[in-house]
Amino acid sequence: MLEQEQAIQKLLTYKEATGKTQSEIAKELDISDPQLSQFLKGVYKSPHIIIPKIEQFFELKAQKEIAPKAPEYKQTSISSKVYKLIEYCHIQGKIAVAYGDAGVGKTMAIKQYAKKHPEGAIVITVSPCFASITGVNELIAEQLRIREKIARKIYSEAVAKLKRSNKVLIIDEAQHLTVRVINHLRCMSDESGIGIAFIGNDEIYLKMRGSGQASYAQLYSRIAYKEHITTNSITKEDIALLFEENELEENVIELLLAISRTNYGVRGAVNVFVNTAAVFGQINSKNIAEMAIEMNIRP
Q: Provide the 10 A C-beta neighbour count for residue 166.
A: 13
CATH number for region 236-294: 1.10.8
Q: Under CATH, what is the fold of the domain 77-231? A: Rossmann fold (3.40.50)
Q: What is the DSSP string of 161-177?
A: HHTTS--EEEEETGGGS
CA torsion angle 85 91 95 99 (round to 10) = 10
Q: Could you list the pLDDT tens digit for every one of the 299 residues in the chain?
A: 789 999 999 999 999 999 999 999 999 999 999 999 999 999 999 989 999 999 999 999 998 888 888 888 999 999 999 999 999 999 999 999 999 999 999 999 999 999 999 999 999 999 999 999 999 999 999 999 999 888 889 999 999 999 999 999 999 999 999 999 999 999 999 999 999 999 999 999 999 887 656 656 677 788 999 999 999 999 999 999 999 999 899 999 999 999 999 999 999 999 999 999 999 999 999 999 999 999 999 88
Cα–Cα distance for residue pair 132/178, rounded to 1 Å = 7
Which is nearest to 106 in space by CA: 85, 122, 121?
A: 85
Question: Based on the number of CB atoms within 10 Å of its own CB, is 296 exposed (0-12), middle (13-18) or buried (19 or more)?
Answer: exposed
Report CA torsion sign: 229, 88, 212, 190: positive
Is 88 within 8 Å of 97 (Cβ atoms)? Answer: no
User: pTM to 2 decimals?
Assistant: 0.84
What residue ranges do the domains of the chain occupy?
Answer: 4-66, 77-231, 236-294
Which is nearest to 74 in space by CA: 198, 288, 234, 279?
A: 234
- The helix or strand, by DSSP H or E, that contains position 290, with its residue range, turns out to be helix 285-294
**Hey, do 77-231 and 236-294 end up sharing a CATH topology, with the first three levels equal?**
no
pLDDT at 215: 56
